[in-house]
Chains A and B, each alone.
Chain A
Amino acid sequence: QLHLQESGPGLVKPSETLSLTCTVSGGSISDSNHYWGWIRQPQTPGRGLEWIGSIYYSGSTNYSPSLKSRVTISVDTSKNQFSLKLRSVTAADTAVYYCARRQFWYDMSGHYSTWFDPWGQGTLITVSA
């Protein structure tokens, strides 16, 4: 059964870089049928889920336009891991960060990135001095 686990420091200072790694076990990150993504969830009531970006095992990426200038996602197939770097963080970046597998769908109409399943347990990142 596929399992994803986020790791990284729980506390980051304002203006610094948040770095997280997602380790995939029970399956290969080089699976051509899946992308790998990062999603975050602020802990403020009423704030929902926000997609950060996704990566394919080849290294192809796509990012949220609102975060694109500060985000880099990379993949290390030899370690079965993918990573997130978010630069110049502020208090607004405080959230639970999840990694997840994203299904890649092909049919006669084209190819699409679709739903997220499964998700890692999530890690709370607090931005504070």
Chain B
Amino acid sequence: QVQLVESGGGLVKPGGSLRLSCAASGFTVGDYFISWIRQAPGKGLEWISYIGLFGNTIYYANSVAGRFTISRDNDQNSVYLEMHSLRAEDTAVYYCARDAGYTYGNYYFDLWGRGTLVTVSS
């Protein structure tokens, strides 16, 4: 079954850190660009980070630049999001999403995981 499965979310205190994982199955993650997109409770979608095929092309939204780090391990068929200096406003469901282009970037998303909830609260 072609799917993405996120994990690693949870409750963390302000200033804390968390590492999210995105495991792909049914396809080779190394053939696709992957993004992380988040959704605060009751709010809309916010793209936060993108990684190219080999991890050498990376972008971040201004809201997370300098605090979050995206990476990938194509051998493990996975993508990761390391989050540091977390703030209350980072509270959201975090989705990983597959770019619709095969081995190139289309920059819209044809496959989404179910998401993992990150709650930043004291």
**Do the two shown chains form a genuine complex with each other?**
no
Binding site for A on B (CB under 8 A): none
Binding site for B on A (CB under 8 A): none
